[in-house]
Each structure stands twice: as structure tokens, then as C-alpha cells.
Amino acid sequence: MTQDADVSSPAGTADGGTGSGTPMTAPIPAPAPAPAPARGAASPLEQVLFEVKRTIVGQDVLLERMAIGLLAGGHLLVEGVPGLAKTLAVKSLASAVGGQFQRIQFTPDLLPADLVGTRVYRQHTGEFETTLGPVFTNLLLADEINRAPAKVQSALLEVMQERQVTIGRETYPVPDPFLVLATQNPIESEGTYPLPEAQVDRFMMKVLVHYPAPVEEHAIVDRALRPPLPTQRILTPEDLVRMRAQVQDVYVDPAIVDYAVRLVVATRSLGTVGLGNLDRYVTHGASPRASIALVLGARALAYLRGRDYAIPQDLYALVPDVLRHRLVLSYEALADDVAPDTVIAGVLRAVPMPEVPLRAR
């Protein structure tokens, strides 16, 4: 790999494309440009994304974050209105990696057994038989997770954390790899059960999905008028497991780990980084899980971009998605229309990015 220049501090105010759309949302400051990797043949995971994009128009951020989730072993909370191809994106990705796909529509009458499974009595044998639920898959779409009661949400979040289910006295591990993509509709709140902050923290990232640009919508309509293209399998689940082992070998400089910790700690005491004007808007900052998610995500993103080392820009790119659902805002923030991304933008400006010499192969 070619030797790259040192990383500089972020500058500018370009929108990173992850804003929440609220009136008080400040644009995420853009970092210094990341070095372009040497271009050879596309990596297997890049080929997967290319294959998915034969079906999906746009949604580049969502697809990249899904790939990061697969590589880092994290789960995604996706917020967007219906009709933005979230289901099709997960289904296409599952086909491209040769994995199984399941979709669960969360409703108020859903029971935990409908997710994880149960023991069924078979009269002809006089014995109980275990029936496993739809969580036993590789990619799971939990559609409108906030429409199910808390006990159902807890059952899913426990599977996400433990990656196993206990039915009766037996424990059953879920397949590997295992990725949960849970969706929420931001425009409907009636009849919903908001996820508690402690449970939302288990999601590695929260991704905001927006309407496509007009040129993308033209392409969407054009594709809808033709027979759909089948998604070709590029990888196998075993290939993904091997890739996750390779991600563990990606080098992360201690300065990048320190940068992650400083960013997360700043959300808990905004006044210490010169953001006293925002302090009243945040009741609780991000937990140590955020620091872990930032470093693991940066490592996976570096691998996805063809490097065996992480750079500060890898971590910087993921900060809004990793932090936005972990900040507990005050009632004053709600009254003033202050969104989490406003606080995150301030933190990114206040906490300097380290200068890390890049490695050469």
C-alpha cells in the first residue's frame, strides 16, 4: 500500500449527510479528506455492495453501515419513513452474502415466543418439541420495533446481546454472522412503545434514511418498470466469518482510541470542552459502549476501504451514527428543537482530531 500523508484536523462545515432534519440541527463538520486506497481488483465485500446496488438505488450510507455491522458484529437501528427500500436492502444483502433473511413485523399483540420460539406438545408422541423462531437467521429485519410492547423488545435485544436463546432448559445459539436491522417510523408516535435508553444503547449505530434525490427517484421508477434483477451470491456466511477474523488484525493507533474516548467523555461534560451553552440540553451523555463501538466501527470501515490500519477519519465518519441514539436530551432541548446531531456537531468541532502518521506496508 502506498505511503500517505499525515492526517490533519477537521475543517469546514460541509454537511456529512447524517443530519436529522430538525430546525436546530447543525451540519456535521467535514474532516480532512481521507487518503484514497490503492485501486486494484475490488475486494469481495466491495463486490457484494456493487451487487446489491444493482437492485438498490442510492442509500449508500445505509449499505455501508450494514457492511460495517456485519464486520464488527454490531446491530443497526434505522429511522426512516416507509417506502425507502429498507426491507429490499436487507434482503438483497442477505442474498449477496449467501445468508438467510427473515422479516418480523412488530405489532402490539406480538409475543416473545413469536420471536425466539417455544416448546410445543406433540400429542402423537407425548413429548414436547422445540420450535425455533424467526430470530434464527443471518440477517433479521425487525420492522417498526417500537410498535411491540417492552417484553417483546427486551426479548429481541437479549438475543442481540447474548446471540443465543434459552427455551426450557436448552440454549440455542443463533447463526453466525447475525445482524439485526431494526426500523422506526419518525412520523408516527401514536400506538408506539419507545425503546428505553438502556436498550437503545445496545445498537451499535442509528442510521437516518432520507428520501432519494430526484435523479435517484427517476432511476427507481425506471427500474420498477422492468423485471427485477436477481441478486447473485458473491460470498458465503463462512467467508464473512473469515473476514471478521481479518478485521481483528487491522491496526488501531492508541491515539485513535484516545480520540474515541475523548469524544464520548465530552458528551457527558460539555462544559469542559467549551460547550457550556449546550450543557443544559443533555441529561445523560454516551456510555462506554459508544467508545467501543467507535473503535470497532473504525476498524471495520478501514478494512472495507482496503486498509490494514485505521485512520482518524474512519472513526470521525461514524461519530454521528454511533452517538445520536445514546444522548438523552432534556425537555429544554425538545422545547428548543435541539437535535442530537446539533450536540454531536459541537463536540466534533471542540475535540481536536489527532495527527496519526499513516503506516506503509
**pLDDT above 70 coverage of the chain, percent:** 87
> Is the predicted pLDDT of residue 318 greater than 70, yes or no?
yes
What pLDDT is stored for residue 68 in this prediction?
94
Coil, strand or helix: which one is 291?
Answer: helix
What's the pLDDT band for 190 if we cut at 50, 70, 90? low
What pLDDT is stored for residue 245 in this prediction?
92
Q: Where are the beta strands (DSSP E) in 59-177?
A: 76-79, 101-105, 117-122, 127-132, 139-143, 164-167, 170-173
What pLDDT is stored for residue 251 in this prediction?
94
Pick the residue with more confidence: 262 or 12?
Answer: 262
List of domains in the chain: 1-32+239-361 (1.10.8.80), 75-203 (3.40.50.300)
What pLDDT is stored for residue 204 in this prediction?
95
> Is the predicted pLDDT of residue 279 greater than 60, yes or no?
yes
**pLDDT above 90 coverage of the chain, percent:** 36
Contacts 24+ apart (CB under 8 A), 329-332: 329/281, 329/282, 329/283, 330/280, 330/281, 330/282, 330/283, 332/280, 332/281
Mean pLDDT of the chain: 84
What's the pLDDT band for 26 if we cut at 50, 70, 90? low
* Average pLDDT of span 34-40: 51
Q: Where are the beta strands (DSSP E) in the chain?
A: 76-79, 101-105, 117-122, 127-132, 139-143, 164-167, 170-173, 179-184, 205-208, 282-284, 328-329
